[in-house]
Chains A and B, each alone.
Chain A
Amino acid sequence: MNTLDWIVLLVTMLGIAAYGAWHTRHTDHLDTYLKGSKTTKWGTIGISVMATQASAITFLSIPGQGFESGIGFVQNYFGLPLALIIVCAVFLPIYRKLGVYTAYEFLGQRFDAKTRLLGAGLFLLQRGLAAGVTIYAPAIILATVLGWRLDVTIISTGLLVIIYTVTGGSMAVNLTQKWQMGIIFGGMIIAFAILIARLPDGLGFSGAAHLAGAMGKLQAVDFSFSPDKRYTLWTGIFGGLFLSLSYFGTDQSQVQRYIGGAALREGRLGLMFNALLKVPMQFSILLLGALVFVFYQFQPAPVFYNRVEWQQHATGTNAVAFHAIEEKHAALHAAKQEKIRLWLDAYNHHRPTEPAARADMLQAQAATDAVRKEARDALTATDRFADTKDSDYVFIGFILEQFPHGAIGLLIAVMIAAALGSKAGELNALGTTTTIDLWRYFRPLAVHDEARNVRAAKWFTALWGFVAIGFALFAGFSENLIEAINIIGSIFYGVVLGIFCVAFFLKRIGGTAVFWAAVAGQILVFILFFTLHISYLWYNLIGCAACVLFSIVLQALLPSRSITQKF
């Protein structure tokens, strides 16, 4: 990065943060602080929902996913539009009707105080633990590639988001996310244009797409029922529906984005905006990664894309072995380039040799893939804690190598804007839930003191921000912590969704039944987690199903009491 890049980066990031903080500095009404402006329209809500979900990892990892495994990952989002329709039709009208600040406040109205505290407590535990990762995950990648100090990167991005989130609350979050998404969309369009321009002469988008398709990178939809395949149309629709319903319907970081606004209509249209755009947006980011893959077929490509990690281990006694792997990869990569040229010639001229040329090309690709695996194995053999997942470094490495100065600064700003946007939504939700569901519950006399409530919300938001920074600094000790946090999230998410499913769809079940069902469901998930060896994603489904089933059974066993029908 040169001076121009730094100017672009600092002006955009500091400018947006300063604008957000200054514009919302007089936010002193609790309603505005927690829900945003009363005049917020659907466009702002829609962008805010999108920005909260799209973290920096979206723009670092997903192109890498497209590069490595192709665009099939887009199927993971197929359940999202369907989940958003359910949230619009069922969840949102009830949240609005009750005028709640948090989703867990609704549980208090529907069931009782203990169920509300349980829901809020599970959210705080899960989101609180994950809070550091949203800062840490992009910081470790940017710090590694750009040579920045990790602690300085974490502290500076963390403080920046704390300042404007604490100052203006939800209103500042909405306002800054709008500008941040502008930077993100602009940056990604420029990235696409530069990438197409950098492709070899005569190849163009169509030729690149045909090559990517021939090499198996453009299989967007897989209709097979094979349980061995991770991403298919069916896992996407059913698994994705389940995960999206948990996230958009019950996670306060999303609920807070759409329960405010001028009217119910604005929240609904904001969610429908996401239902329409999310799949095409993820497809575009994945396609970008697949095109970066094509780009590297015509260039010298590294055997391992996290060059810093590779160089750190390619020293001393390992140097000879690592160098041999590099040379082997370079030779196979050059041989593959020749096969690709032969295939392109056969394909463009409709020659009968095209199938044979394609088979040769795929064989050459398999050979280079095998050497890349050999490189990862060599890293693990040298250091079992080495970070062997290099796909996260593909896109950022491409930006730094190929983009002109100025554009580099803009694309780094895209990554940081995404990190700030999602972090702000998260802090805002943690601060709000702590204030409304815990602090106000234990200090009921303070409910009517609006200024005191706003002060408490600001303090709790700041506190969670510092917890996140502290956790991110600590997380530097362990790479595997990111996966651990995802596992912790899946352990709790299912039961929380189960409580809400009972609340919305099983109206005869009362608070005591659902509370003990949730506790039993959570214990069951813990037991299964320590005894079974299944993908942690299944615990979302198991927790939800257990909570719903136990609720039905417990309600049948409990003495019958009239349940007030409020909704």
Chain B
Amino acid sequence: MNPEPPEPHSDESPGVPGFRTWRGIYLFVFGVFVLVVALLALFSRWFA
């Protein structure tokens, strides 16, 4: 095992402008994923 200094709390602010919590980041990533799938579905339909 490798002794390390105590890690900050895992729910600390992610330090990304516009996001106060990691939950916000995860929701954003999930939202982008849904958007990408929707855009791919539209792409398929547009070029079918």
Residue contact A81 to B1, C-beta cutoff 8 Å: no
Residue contact B1 to A214, C-beta cutoff 8 Å: no
Is the C-beta of A475 less than 8 angstroms from some C-beta in chain B?
no
Note all chain A residues with C-beta closer than 8 A to B14.
265, 268-269
Chain A 269-285 near chain B by CB (<8 Å), digits 1 or 0: 10010011001100100
Residue contact B33 to A82, C-beta cutoff 8 Å: yes
B29 touches which of A99, A105, A272 (Cβ 8 Å) = A272
Q: Interface residues of B toward A: which range?
A: 20 to 34
Residue contact A221 to B41, C-beta cutoff 8 Å: yes
Residue contact A280 to B36, C-beta cutoff 8 Å: yes
Give CA–CA (A369, B40) in the complex, Å: 27
B25 touches which of A101, A209, A272 (Cβ 8 Å) = A272
A99 touches which of B1, B16, B22 (Cβ 8 Å) = B1
Give CA–CA (A93, B14) in the complex, Å: 13
Residue contact B44 to A81, C-beta cutoff 8 Å: no
Give CA–CA (A263, B4) in the complex, Å: 11
Note all chain B residues with C-beta closer than 8 A to A219.
44, 48
Residue contact B2 to A100, C-beta cutoff 8 Å: yes
Residue contact A209 to B10, C-beta cutoff 8 Å: no
Give CA–CA (A89, B46) in the complex, Å: 37
B43 touches which of A98, A220, A264 (Cβ 8 Å) = A220
Is the C-beta of A460 less than 8 angstroms from some C-beta in chain B?
no
Give CA–CA (A100, B30) in the complex, Å: 29
Residue contact B33 to A275, C-beta cutoff 8 Å: yes
Inter-chain residue pair count (beta carbon < 8 A): 82
Residue contact A213 to B48, C-beta cutoff 8 Å: yes
Q: Given contacts A88-B26, A93-B10, A269-B14, is CB(A99)–CB(B2) below 8 Å?
A: yes
Is the C-beta of B18 less than 8 angstroms from some C-beta in chain A?
no
Note all chain B residues with C-beta closer than 8 A to A221.
37, 40-41, 44
Q: Interface residues of A toward B: which range?
A: 35 or more
Is the C-beta of A74 less than 8 angstroms from some C-beta in chain B?
yes
Note all chain B residues with C-beta closer than 8 A to A283.
40
Cβ of B45 to closest chain A Cβ, rounded Å: 9
Residue of A nearest to B29 (CB): A275
Is the C-beta of A97 less than 8 angstroms from some C-beta in chain B?
yes
Q: What 10 pairs across the A-B complex have the smallest Cβ distances?
A: A213-B47, A99-B4, A93-B10, A220-B40, A221-B41, A81-B33, A99-B2, A220-B44, A218-B47, A209-B47
Q: Residues of B at under 8 Å CB distance from A?
A: 1-4, 7-8, 10, 12, 14-16, 22, 25-26, 29-30, 32-33, 36-37, 40-41, 43-44, 46-48
Known contacts A96-B4, A219-B44, A264-B8; 16 further A-B pairs (Cβ under 8 A): A82-B30, A88-B22, A88-B26, A93-B10, A97-B10, A99-B4, A209-B47, A213-B44, A213-B47, A218-B43, A218-B48, A221-B44, A265-B14, A265-B15, A275-B33, A276-B29
Q: Residues of A at under 8 Å CB distance from B?
A: 30-31, 74, 78, 81-82, 84-85, 88-89, 93, 96-101, 105, 109, 209-210, 212-214, 218-221, 223, 233, 263-265, 268-269, 272, 275-276, 279-280, 283
Q: List 12 A-B contacts (CB under 8 A).
A: A81-B33, A88-B26, A89-B22, A209-B47, A213-B47, A213-B48, A220-B40, A221-B41, A268-B14, A269-B14, A272-B25, A275-B29
